[in-house]
Structure formats: structure tokens, C-alpha cells
Amino acid sequence: MGNKRELIAKRAADELEPYSFVNLGIGIPTLVANYIDDGLYTLHTENGLLGVTSVEEKDIDPLIVNAGKLPVGEALGASYFSSADSFAMIRGGHIDVAILGALQIDSRGRIANWAIPGKDIIGVGGAMDLLEGAKKIIITTNHVANDGRPKLVDECTFPITSERVAETIITDLAVFKWQGDNYELVELMGDSTIEEVQANTTAFYTISNELLQEGKV
């Protein structure tokens, strides 16, 4: 199952433009770092570091962590700054891409990733700011929840994180891109089939001409 997560992360890395500023969320998004070249991309973490890189066990400094409080390294050219400055970067539109996880994504392009109804709502962190301020949002997630229910739904039943549309969705089954009014299925992941996607998706989406022409549908 670890392979599914790696597959999603690797595919997300392909979406990034060289020299972009990227914020990685917790979970699958963190794995994206394994597939990108330090020199080509600059990773931002909202607790106050621009220029995040991986760190070897022997070099861990407990006072250098990412937003998931995990130890990270300092890339060449890195800088540190306060939380207020860090979120000025985010809200001010200076971060090119945020790669985030999601609990639900709906037909209107909205995502829910901070609270579950019926459970205590006691944490939001930087999720709402990232959705508001990053120029582009890539969602990386398993296609269905742990209980097998679709995550791509017609309307979020979990509290939404923002009204802003998430432009790209990458799951273990498929890649969807927002096309102004709806998501379009643009790619099947690995050896997944259109039938699998249809059976596990209740959100509205269209299918790209390329996929139709390839005869996969």
C-alpha cells in the first residue's frame, strides 16, 4: 500500500514548474520531496523556513522542524522568519503551489481537510491560509477513505476548508483537473480503469477527449 502513496507523490512532483516555491502538507504531500531536485524547487514550511531539505539521522537538529514537527534539513540558500512573515508569504500570493491532503473534495472544487463532523474540532493549523493564498493547489489523496467511501463527492459533508477551488486532484486511481465549472478526468493512474474510477467517485466530472480517443472508456 506504501507504493500507492509513493505513486501519487511521484505524479504530483511532475506537476511542478521548475524554480517554483512549494509548500507541502502532512502525509502523502511530504513524500513529494523525495521526487524533486533541491536546486530546482524551493520548499516552504509555514513554521518559518524557506529552503527545506531532507536530513540524515546523524545530522538532526531538534530545533529545525517542518509544520508536521518532523526534523528537516536546511537547503543551500535557506532562510528563517517569524510565523507572521511566513503567513504573509502564503496569504500574499508568494507561494506558487501548495500540495495538500483532503478528507473530501466536491463537485464545486471545494475541499474539506480540517475537521470531521461529530469529532472535536480543535485544530486547523495553516490549511485555510494555504488554500486561500497559494497560487495553485494540488490535492494528493487516496481515492477512497479508509472505510471505502468515496472522497470525491457531490457536496462536502465535512466542514470545508475554503471556498476556493483546488485545481488538481491526484489519487491512486486518477488525475483530475478543474476546467472552470467542473473537474475533468485527464489521466488514469497505474493500471486503474475507468470503471474503477466511476465506481468510487460520486462527484460530477467529465472525461477528457484524450482519454476518450485512447479508447480507455
Partner 1 sequence: MYLDKLFSIEDALKEIKSNHTLMVGGFGLVGSPLSIIEHLTRHDISGLTVISNNVGEAGEGLGILLRQGKIKKAIGSYFTSNRDVAKYYNEGKLEIELLPQGTLSEAIRSGGAGLGGFYTKTAVGTDLARGKETKEINGETYLLQEGLKADVAIIKAWKADRLGNLVYYKTARNFNPNMATAANYVIAEVDEIVDVGELDPDEIATPHLFVDAIVKSELILMKDGVKSIGK
Q: Which residues bind partner 1 (CB under 8 A)?
A: 45-49, 60-65, 69, 74, 80-84, 86-88, 90-91, 115, 120-129, 132-133, 159-163
Let me know: does 50 contact 44? Beta carbons within 8 Å.
yes
CB of 183 to partner 1, least distance (A): 19
Question: Of the two residues 120 and 191, which places its CB atom closer to partner 1 in the complex?
Answer: 120
CB of 116 to partner 1, least distance (A): 11
List the beta bridge partners of residue 111: 105
Question: Of the two residues 92 and 190, which places its CB atom closer to partner 1 in the complex?
Answer: 92
CB of 95 to partner 1, least distance (A): 11
Which of 15, 46, 167, 184 is an active site residue? 46
* Coil, strand or helix at 50: strand
Question: Of the two residues 83 and 193, which places its CB atom closer to partner 1 in the complex?
Answer: 83
* Coil, strand or helix at 143: coil
Residue with grid cell 530546482, as numbered in its chain: 40
Let me know: does 132 contact 91? Beta carbons within 8 Å.
yes
Question: Of the two residues 40 and 88, which places its CB atom closer to partner 1 in the complex?
Answer: 88
Maximum Cα interatomic distance, the chain, rounded to a whole number of Å: 53
CB of 114 to partner 1, least distance (A): 8
Angle at Cα 156 formed by Cα 145 and Cα 171, nearest 5°? 40
DSSP label of 189: -
C-alpha span between 120 and 143 (Å, rounded): 25
- Based on the residue annotation, tell me whether 17 is a catalytic residue of this protein: no
CB of 149 to partner 1, least distance (A): 21
Residue with grid cell 476518450, as numbered in its chain: 212
With CA atoms as reference, report the closest residue to 11 among 165, 138, 199: 138
Q: Read off the C-alpha cell for 84.
A: 507572521
Question: Of the two residues 60 and 211, which places its CB atom closer to partner 1 in the complex?
Answer: 60
Which residues are designated catalytic?
46
